A and B are shown apart, each in its own frame.
Chain A
């Protein structure tokens, strides 16, 4: 749907300072119907990439290609796009309803469709009670919700969400993630930027990782997890003499006869010895690294 090819971008903080490389030859692709997580620490280049996709800033080199499924050109892409910026500040003196109506009018949608859409999404995102309040009286979470409503008001097929769950309470985060999953099931492509790895691991099927302006990974979340999985197992067992097992790894005593061992090599010999000694196996499981552990390791 959207492909970034060799994007580089540098900025100058002020006239006298040297250039800071925000993005360095970054290429990745977002496919139709995917829920793609865009991961990176603060300052990794996520927002700069999004601004380039949205044509707010021009790259120093490289191109962004929009496939025919999103209109084929940038201008047509905007008709199919719903965008929620990071920490958006809306027109404080407008009410939530007026703001959503303003955004809807820019898409030329019919009154009936607007009414249907605002009712549906304001209820789904639990903001319908505050639609007639001025935006200056909204909390951060409420602003995030009304911003999301305005993203969905014209039924876009492609959503770009920049840190949509940051600053929300746990209930709000859960709701937002549920709505994203629901939208993805409806066939919408979602490109969702975050610096919180667990959020992305939880809901995304694809992942793009940036670090200091460089692309670190682009592909499926599961592929990365499988690729980075090592043959590490955890065993909890009962034994009167745990000394015999120290050759397989570090043994920790949990209670008088209960021990825990982490085996970083083939565990068959351990199991064989356990059977020979007639010791009892309480728990035996493979230890998989979390996405967070993999990403932080990649960062290093």
Chain B
């Protein structure tokens, strides 16, 4: 575990120094502008529009970071040969992978935390009332990005960077729509399509389930069953992708 933490620490530190967190400043300004526009143009509930935009932008920003930084955390290290410097020390390939993932997760967490804080602050100053549901929504936004990071990193262990990005985006879209399509009567009974949907539904996390924004905007409450179910669902997929990534990394030839 100590080795994983060392790699995570330097991965985090390197990413911070690469000015990746500068996006927070730009998005912070975008939040302020959008909230101002929302308060000027929206009739009735400007705070909700501001929260909607804030949480939406946070979610998009960390997904972009997860995909485009995620694809580089192992691939670029191999291309640049910097992985050789680390793996010629007493550390296993799997420990290294876990450290890189942990460091990158830290970056995602800091992003979500700061952007979420800005969104909630704006919502509060515009007259909204903060509750635990919003914290859960921000937390699952982080989990969503984490899952996307794991998918992209896992793909990058057996394919090229471009293909990994495409696979990551495809997995996200499939994960978002497969369960909805499966539930709709139109496709449920069609043989091959039904099989494909079921396969996607079982191998890719249901991203629409992790998006709790609609609950706070329209339903005002989330049942504990939904929260526990979503937590278990995401934990299971995190575990699956960690195991899959570890197996691939262990077998990966560093030529």
Instruction: Give me the interface of A with B, judged by CB distance under 8 Å.
Output: 11, 48, 51, 54, 56-58, 75, 78-79, 81, 83, 85-91, 93-94, 98, 102-103, 105-108, 134, 147, 150, 160
Contact = CB atoms under 8 A, between A and B. Distances in A.
A90 B88 CA distance: 14
A246 to B, nearest CB: 58
* Interface-central residue, A48, A57, A147, by most chain B CB under 10 Å: A57
Contacts of B255: 11, 48, 51, 56-57
B202 interface: no
Given A102-B6, A105-B6, A81 B88 contact: yes
B172 to A, nearest CB: 28
Given A51-B255, A106-B3, A107-B90, A94 B84 contact: no
Contact of A58 (B2, B10, B85, B253): B253
Given A85-B81, A160-B88, 14 more contacts: A51-B255, A56-B253, A78-B90, A85-B84, A89-B81, A91-B10, A94-B10, A94-B14, A98-B10, A102-B6, A103-B85, A106-B7, A106-B86, A106-B91
A286 to B, nearest CB: 44
B17 A107 contact: no
A98 B89 contact: no
A255 B31 CA distance: 90
28 contacts: A51-B254, A56-B84, A56-B253, A56-B254, A57-B255, A75-B90, A78-B88, A81-B88, A83-B85, A83-B88, A85-B81, A85-B85, A86-B81, A88-B81, A88-B82, A89-B80, A89-B81, A90-B85, A93-B14, A93-B18, A94-B13, A102-B6, A103-B86, A106-B6, A106-B7, A107-B90, A108-B2, A108-B90
A81 B18 CA distance: 30
A106 B254 CA distance: 20
* Interface-central residue, B7, B84, B254, by most chain A CB under 10 Å: B84
Q: Chain B: interface residue count, which band? A: 20 to 34
A73 to B, nearest CB: 12
A102 B81 contact: no
Contact of B254 (A57, A83, A93, A160): A57
Contacts, number: 73
A93 B7 CA distance: 15
B87 interface: yes
Given A75-B90, A98-B10, A98-B13, A54 B85 contact: no
A160 B255 CA distance: 17
B85 A87 contact: no
Nearest to A162: B84
A17 B80 CA distance: 25
B84 to A, nearest CB: 4
B84 A83 contact: yes
Contacts of B6: 102, 105-106
Q: List 7 tightest A-B contacts by C-beta distance, closest first.
A: A93-B17, A83-B88, A89-B80, A106-B89, A56-B254, A85-B84, A78-B90
A54 B81 CA distance: 13
A94 B14 CA distance: 6
Contacts of B254: 51, 56-57
Nearest to A160: B88
Nearest to A95: B17
Interface string B51-90: 0000000000000000000000000000011101111111
A54 B88 CA distance: 7
A282 to B, nearest CB: 55
Contacts of B89: 78, 103, 106-107
Interface in B3-55: 3, 6-7, 10, 13-14, 17-18
Nearest to B86: A106
A54 B255 CA distance: 12
A78 B253 CA distance: 18
Contacts of A134: 17
Contacts of B82: 88-91
B65 to A, nearest CB: 16
B90 A106 contact: yes
A102 B7 CA distance: 8
A78 B91 CA distance: 9
